[in-house]
């Protein structure tokens, strides 16, 4: 015997009412002077024991009556035996009438986590098959996936034919696959409520099968309305929580060089960021002692490192590589843990032999030697070709900058098209057509490096480049004035080379590769104090087109190097002179490699990205890949789930591109032509949120239970027990009410016989 509404058992205290009333009744001061007390005493003496017995009987009867009434409100439920008619083949309870059962199954990627030999999704599929097989003719069974097929898509319930044979149920459950779109729990609950509203049945069950991952439930309070609606619809909600607090998961968050384009033969640091998503308390003993990180380039192990991280922490491992020209596959691997998909991350990048640099200098460049920025930069960048020596690791692949120096007056609008990076040295303004061409160049992925040396006019500069300028520390987008009005060699600032955001420049954080802090910065441009943003800037900010970061700061906190995005390209602003007019950096050893890295960073976005996030399109520059099938031949994409999908080329001017948008599944995608020749590989990153296997915290778990009014069970057996409340067996409330009425009549009878 169980109670479906055990809270009503609190009314059992009401059963004490007759006893309390009896005691209070005795305490009442209803006092009468009486003359015939002799007779009264005789009566009491002769009937004392009999009267007491009758009182006890009546009070017990009334107490029992109220107790049974309270128990009736608690909906007593008597389970049938296993052989009873309500039992189903699967063992899941069914109930005596028709059943409407909706199953919400969590198909997020975190369901791929394994506990022992069985993954969460395997356990979910097994439970789902049991639930599907437990239906009968006339029942309604529907399934809802927690993750929509596309981000933002509406979740709908899919019907299952009832009854479903066991083998068909297994097949149906096996069709459930994890996808990378983020879970939409409110959407799934909304679909469940609508499904219940559309169907009538004797009993209703909603089974939630989820791992209750912390990241999937940002706002549990939003579920309360659904909990209320489901209660109103008299739906029994049971949650099967497939989680473990002891799950240990090391996840590789990223493998990156900060850009997808590297310079061939140039030693570069590759950063592999690893996160331990285990509970922080379990980390010390959480098996991270066996963590082992491997770094591979093109399938060849380059480095290995033990990986021991406390729970809830992350660490960046840096591996230096020198790549030959051509496409490369970077890979980082961790040994197996609870969640395997994030233990292996692949990234694609390419190493170029040459970077095309357009150097724009003033018509009348002043100064001598290092003070002439354009001439100095041209000479510094030309050193790459001169630096090709026999002791280089790959001399034949050593990169070079192909620098084209153009005076401002000679700059043609189309001059940007054949270059990867444009460097403006001391240029204050450009004609409108050139300015527009420059913006178009950056928007398509080009890189721009602007320097604000002594020869510029701040107002003209802002007018020309203001739209492109990276935002300053207070989100300003305009230069104000030089920090000092006059040059004074006794007054200078130094660079604070710490916490550099861009991975490619991170080698300059310390003094190992040359100490930037030794350079003296005599002057630089400051930004306007925080001002009202212009409409253009506001629109740009709202569209998210301009994301800026300060890459280098001065000792007084002013930014020295800012980087920002504009369209697909990158814009960098050097607030001092690139030559020696305002600083002594050009005469220091790290200057040349720093400029190389900076230009490398700026020019790395000219080609479409090969490493994208789920849902972002894959764009392949198919120019020159016609091969045997011709320029208009079909292309095919091999997806991570082993599907081959045809896609077509799109001609843009003289070039052609292929675009593929079905990137919901994380992993590697490969473009092929009709002869299965690989045209390019892309990587779709695993959503990092799914690596966090930690379940809801205790408070959140309690809120979840309360919001949806659901018990959370941890196994299929417990799920059967929990569902049995609305399933096998009968409510006995009717019999209890009958017993109450019978006792009421009996009480009236006794009262009439004994006391009337």
Partner 1 sequence: MTNAGETDTSHVDPVTSLLSGDLVERLRQLEIFCRERVEGRRAGDNRSPLTGSSPDFLQHRPYFPGDDPRRLDWRVLARTDKSVIRQYEEVTNLEMTVIVDRSGSMGYAGRSLSKHEYAVRCAAILMYLMFQQKDDFALILFGKDAAERCPAGGTRLRLRRAFEKLIASQPAGETHFDACFRQVESRVTRRGIVVVLSDFMDDPQKLARTMGRLRLRGHDVIALQVFDPTECELEFVDFTRFRDLEDGELIGVDPLLIRDEYRRQFQQHTETLRAQCLAQGIDFAALSVGDDYEAAMSQYLRHRQAILR
Residues that bind partner 1 (CB under 8 A): 25-26, 28-44, 46-47, 51, 54-55, 754-756
Which H or E element spans position 383?
helix 383-386
Closest approach of Cβ 24 to partner 1, in Å?
Answer: 10
Phi (first) and psi of residue 563, to 5 degrees: -125, 145
Q: In this complex, which beta carbon is closest to partner 1, that of residue 44 or of residue 741? A: 44
Closest approach of Cβ 20 to partner 1, in Å?
Answer: 14
Closest approach of Cβ 51 to partner 1, in Å?
Answer: 5
Q: Which two tokens stand for residue 406?
A: 């153009």
Count the Cβ atoms, other than its own, within 10 Å of residue 304: 13
Q: In this complex, which beta carbon is closest to partner 1, that of residue 746 or of residue 755? A: 755
Q: Do 341 and 112 contact (CB within 8 A), yes or no?
A: yes
Closest approach of Cβ 47 to partner 1, in Å?
Answer: 5
Which H or E element spans position 400?
strand 400-407
Closest approach of Cβ 83 to partner 1, in Å?
Answer: 52
Please count the residues of the chain: 756
Distances (CA, A) of 649 to 244, 635, 682: 47, 7, 17
Measured between alpha carbons, how far is 667 from 669 in angstroms, rounded to an integer? Answer: 7
Q: In this complex, which beta carbon is closest to partner 1, that of residue 40 or of residue 706? A: 40
Q: In this complex, which beta carbon is closest to partner 1, that of residue 44 or of residue 284? A: 44
Measured between alpha carbons, how far is 372 from 407 in angstroms, rounded to an integer? Answer: 13
Closest approach of Cβ 15 to partner 1, in Å?
Answer: 21
Q: In this complex, which beta carbon is closest to partner 1, that of residue 37 or of residue 539? A: 37
Q: Which of 688, 697, 703, 712 is nearest to 279 (CA)?
A: 697
Closest approach of Cβ 734 to partner 1, in Å?
Answer: 34
The single residue listed with the structure tokens 């590589």 is 321
Distances (CA, A) of 117 to 111, 120, 171, 338, 387: 14, 10, 21, 10, 56
Q: In this complex, which beta carbon is closest to partner 1, that of residue 42 or of residue 280? A: 42
Measured between alpha carbons, how far is 568 from 550 in angstroms, rounded to an integer? Answer: 19
- Residue 700 CA to chain centroid, in angstroms? 18
Q: Do 395 and 388 contact (CB within 8 A), yes or no?
A: yes
Closest approach of Cβ 756 to partner 1, in Å?
Answer: 8
Closest approach of Cβ 62 to partner 1, in Å?
Answer: 15
Closest approach of Cβ 14 to partner 1, in Å?
Answer: 22
Q: Which of 457, 460, 439, 461 is nearest to 448 (CA)?
A: 439
Closest approach of Cβ 17 to partner 1, in Å?
Answer: 16
Q: In this complex, which beta carbon is closest to partner 1, that of residue 59 or of residue 592? A: 59
Q: In this complex, which beta carbon is closest to partner 1, that of residue 44 or of residue 481? A: 44
Q: Is the peptide bond before 163 cis (omega within 30 degrees of 0)?
A: yes
Q: Do 687 and 182 contact (CB within 8 A), yes or no?
A: yes
For 235, which DSSP code? Answer: E
Q: Which residues contact 477 (CB under 8 A, 6 or more apart)?
A: 462, 466, 469, 470, 471, 533, 534, 537, 546
Measured between alpha carbons, how far is 677 from 498 in angstroms, rounded to an integer? Answer: 46
Q: In this complex, which beta carbon is closest to partner 1, that of residue 487 or of residue 755? A: 755
Q: In this complex, which beta carbon is closest to partner 1, that of residue 202 or of residue 748? A: 748
DSSP-derived secondary structure for 664-732: -S-EEEEEEETT--EEEEEEEPPPGGGG---B--HHHHHHHHHHHT--EESSHHHHHHHHGGGSSSEE-
For 363, which DSSP code? Answer: T
Closest approach of Cβ 45 to partner 1, in Å?
Answer: 10
Q: In this complex, which beta carbon is closest to partner 1, that of residue 35 or of residue 218? A: 35
Q: In this complex, which beta carbon is closest to partner 1, that of residue 40 or of residue 174? A: 40
């Amino acid at each position: 015997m169980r109670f479906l509404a055990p809270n009503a058992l609190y009314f059992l205290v009401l059963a004490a009412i007759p006893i309390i009333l009896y005691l209070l009744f005795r305490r009442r001061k209803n006092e009468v002077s009486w003359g015939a007390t002799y007779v009264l005493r005789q009566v009491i003496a002769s009937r004392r024991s009999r009267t007491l017995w009758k009182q006890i009987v009546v009070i017990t009867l009334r107490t029992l009556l109220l107790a049974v009434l309270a128990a009736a409100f608690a909906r007593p439920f008597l389970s049938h035996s296993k052989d009873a008619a309500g039992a189903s083949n699967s063992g899941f309870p069914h109930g005596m009438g028709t059943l409407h059962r909706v199953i919400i199954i969590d198909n997020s990627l975190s369901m791929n986590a394994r506990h022992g030999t069985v993954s969460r999704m395997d356990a979910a599929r097994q439970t789902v098959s049991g639930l599907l097989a437990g239906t009968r003719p006339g029942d309604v069974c529907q399934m809802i996936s927690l993750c929509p097929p596309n981000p933002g898509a509406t979740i709908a319930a899919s019907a299952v034919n009832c009854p479903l044979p066991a083998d068909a149920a297994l097949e149906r459950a096996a069709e459930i696959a994890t996808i990378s779109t983020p879970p939409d729990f409110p959407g799934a609950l909304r679909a469940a409520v609508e499904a219940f509203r559309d169907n009538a049945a004797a009993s209703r069950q909603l089974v939630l099968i989820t791992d209750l991952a912390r990241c999937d439930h940002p706002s549990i309070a939003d579920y309360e309305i659904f909990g209320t609606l489901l209660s109103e619809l008299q739906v029994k909600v049971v949650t099967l929580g497939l989680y473990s607090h002891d799950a240990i998961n090391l996840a590789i968050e990223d493998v990156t060089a900060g850009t997808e384009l590297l310079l061939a033969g140039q030693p570069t640091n590759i950063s592999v960021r690893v996160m331990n998503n285990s509970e922080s308390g379990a980390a010390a003993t959480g098996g991270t002692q066996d963590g082992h990180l491997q770094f591979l380039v093109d399938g060849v192990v380059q480095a290995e490192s033990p990986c021991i991280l406390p729970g809830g922490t992350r660490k960046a491992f840096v591996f230096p590589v020198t790549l030959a020209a051509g496409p490369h596959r970077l890979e980082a691997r961790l040994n197996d843990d609870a969640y395997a998909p994030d233990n292996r991350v692949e990234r694609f990048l390419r190493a170029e032999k040459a970077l095309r640099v357009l150097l724009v200098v003033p018509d009348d460049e002043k100064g001598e030697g290092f003070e002439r920025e354009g001439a100095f930069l041209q000479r510094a960048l030309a050193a790459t070709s001169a630096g090709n020596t026999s002791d280089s690791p790959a001399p034949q692949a050593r990169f070079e900058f192909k620098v084209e120096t153009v005076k401002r007056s000679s700059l043609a609008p189309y001059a940007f098209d054949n270059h990867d990076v444009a460097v403006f040295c001391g240029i204050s303004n450009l004609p409108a057509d050139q300015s527009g061409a420059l913006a178009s160049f950056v928007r398509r992925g080009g890189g721009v490096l602007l320097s604000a040396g002594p020869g510029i006019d701040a107002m003209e500069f802002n007018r020309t480049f203001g739209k492109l300028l990276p935002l300053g520390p207070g989100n300003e987008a305009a230069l104000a004035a030089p920090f000092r009005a006059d040059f004074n060699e006794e007054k200078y600032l130094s660079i604070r080379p710490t916490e550099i955001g861009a991975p490619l420049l991170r080698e300059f954080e310390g003094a190992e590769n040359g100490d930037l802090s030794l350079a003296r910065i005599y002057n630089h441009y400051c930004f306007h104090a925080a001002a009202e943003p212009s409409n253009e800037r506001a629109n740009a900010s709202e569209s998210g087109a301009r994301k800026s970061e300060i890459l280098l700061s001065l000792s007084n906190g002013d930014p020295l190097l800012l980087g920002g995005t504009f369209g697909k390209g990158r814009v960098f602003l050097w607030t001092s002179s690139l030559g020696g007019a305002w600083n002594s950096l050009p005469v220091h050893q790290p200057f040349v490699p720093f400029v190389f890295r900076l230009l490398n960073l700026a020019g790395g976005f000219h080609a479409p990205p090969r490493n994208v996030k789920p849902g972002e399109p894959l764009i392949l520059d198919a120019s020159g890949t016609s091969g045997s099938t011709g320029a208009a031949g079909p292309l095919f994409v091999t997806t991570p789930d082993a599907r081959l999908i045809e896609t077509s080329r799109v001609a843009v001017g003289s070039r052609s591109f292929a675009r593929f948008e079905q990137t919901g599944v994380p992993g590697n995608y490969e473009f092929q032509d009709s002869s299965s020749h690989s045209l390019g590989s892309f990587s779709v990153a695993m959503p990092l949120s799914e690596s966090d296997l930690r379940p809801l915290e205790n408070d959140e778990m309690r809120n979840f239970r309360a919001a949806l009014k659901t018990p959370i069970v941890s196994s299929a057996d417990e799920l059967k027990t929990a569902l049995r409340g609305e399933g096998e067996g009968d409510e006995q409330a009717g019999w209890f009410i009958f017993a109450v009425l019978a006792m009421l009549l009996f009480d009236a009878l006794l009262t009439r016989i004994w006391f009337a």
